[in-house]
Amino acid sequence: MTIPGSSESPTEAESAEALALNALVWLLSDESRADRLLALTGLTPDILRAGLGDSAVLGAVLDFLAAHEPDLVAAADALGTEPQKLANAARSLTR
């Protein structure tokens, strides 16, 4: 996250986490997508809440998107980014 008035740019990890959080919001905005996320990842609402700052949880969210191209493309479009950036963020969070 960039601080207003600061010339510092976000680190790669911070950018990946921010992208993952935005992707999670997008995923949870649709009940069927949210249900599929929980069913296929084994994540629970409690784990998601507790893991909002956990790179492993955020990486799992992006891995879920990367595994289903239609959702990956739709999420990238909704977030104003490239699908490859979401996939790269997933890799950086799960290293």
What is the domain partition of the chain in residue ranges?
A: 12-93
- Interior CA angle at 31 toward 27 and 33, to 5°? 45
Listed residue (53, 70, 72) closest to 62, CA to CA: 72
Count Cα atoms within 13 angstroms, Cβ side, for 74. 12
Please tell me the predicted confidence (pLDDT) of residue 1.
39
Q: What is the pTM of this model?
A: 0.84
Under a CB-based contact definition with an 8 Å cutoff, are residues 89 and 83 in contact? Answer: no
pLDDT tens sequence across 21-48 = 999 999 999 999 999 999 999 999 999 9
In the chain the first and final C-alpha atoms are separated, in Å, by 21
Greater model confidence, 77 or 94: 77
